[in-house]
Amino acid sequence: MADRPDRSDTAPAIVVRNLTRRFGEFVAVDNVSFDVARGEIFGFLGSNGAGKSTTIRMLCGLLEPTSGSALVGGVDVTSDPEGVKRRIGYMSQKFSLYELLTVDQNIAFFGGVYGLVALLGFVAPGILSTILGHPGLSAGELMADNVFHIAVALSSLAAGFAGSAAVTA
């Protein structure tokens, strides 16, 4: 694996080799290998329990592989999971906003969590939530599709700030 991220135009965005994850005796991901080219749209299809979410969690640096290797944006997910997290935006399928906070407050909170404080400092207060809609409403008052749109925007914003890719699972 490379010591420094390979950001050349020809290097794949993701390189996975023999990636495996076990939970005790149970094998959730078994010896998976693939490449994803820069700019390529790539997805996982499979039944419940096939290992899709486990693979995504490993690629996002949220879960350590049992064996094998993976590079995301040239960064090794095992040796530098925090480096991977700084380069991607991730939104889980169970993402939710804090219901008692307003949209503005949720954006400020998640911006801080994902290290977007510097970026959000350049945006006039409230402008992002105005673009997304419903700035003064509490998240609990929003329809599910509005919550989803805000979540995707935050994930994409994190990815754009990091100069990499947004990942949804």
For the chain, what are the domain ranges? 14-79, 103-168
- Residue tagged 């499979």 (tokens): 46
Q: Which residues of 22-37 are buried (b: 16+ CB within 10 A; e: fewer)?
A: eeeeeebbeebeeebe
> Picking from 26-30, 86-90, 107-111, 162-166, which range would have the lowest pLDDT averaged per residue?
162-166
What lies within 8 Å, CB to CB, of 48 at 6+ separation is none
| pTM of the full structure | 0.63
Q: Is the pLDDT of residue 73 over 60?
A: yes
* pLDDT tens per residue across span 83-137: 888 788 766 665 667 778 777 777 777 776 666 655 555 554 555 666 666 667 7
pLDDT digits (tens, 9 = 90+) for 40-57: 888 888 898 999 989 999
The answer regarding whether domain 14-79 maps to CATH 1.20.1180.10 reads no
Which two structure tokens, joined as six digits, stand for 128?
Answer: 């992002």
